Structure 1
Amino acid sequence: MASKAQLKAAEKWAEKNKDKRKVITYRSYTKKFINELADEKDLDKIIEMVNLRKQSMQKGD
């Protein structure tokens, strides 16, 4: 169990780093979905979405 000081420090970090925490959370959800829940159709759609995103990022360079 975490001490009060650790809990307070974690809460302070989370408040100060909202965007970073959001990225970490979504990345975790994505990995869990891909590894535990997605079927073949879902994986095909994810691959398509990733490829489109990569293409749009390259055009922005």
Structure 2
Amino acid sequence: MSENKQTQANLRWAEKNKEKKKYLNYRTMSRSFIRKLATEEDLKELETLIRERREQE
């Protein structure tokens, strides 16, 4: 079974952009967790972590 050109291009991009792909995957997982699974306690902890991170910058 041969892959189509778009699939091949996607694989080449992923191979050349490993760090960007990793960043995008983590961002997607984070957003999904917040939207679908996070409890109120989780959200409060995340707010604290975000506040601390912003203060570091």
1:49 matched to 2:49: yes
Where do residues 1-61 of structure 1 align in structure 2 (5 Å cutoff)?
A: 4-57=4-57
Count of equivalent residues: 55
Counting aligned pairs with the same residue, the percent is 36
Which runs of 4 or more aligned residues in structure 1 lie more than 2 Å from their structure 2 counterparts after TM superposition? none
What's the TM-score once normalised by structure 2's chain length?
0.90
Segments of 5+ residues of structure 2 without an aligned counterpart are: none
Q: Following the alignment from structure 1 to structure 2, what is the Cα–Cα distance between the partners of residues 33 and 43?
A: 10
Q: Give the letter for the 1:53 counterpart.
A: R
Segments of 5+ residues of structure 1 without an aligned counterpart are: none
User: 1:6, CA displacement in angstroms?
Assistant: 1.0
Q: Following the alignment from structure 1 to structure 2, what is the Cα–Cα distance between the partners of residues 21 and 29?
A: 12
What's the TM-score once normalised by structure 1's chain length?
0.84
Q: Give the letter for the 1:37 counterpart.
A: L
Q: Deviations over 1:2-37 (max 9, x none)?
A: x52111100000001111111110110000000000
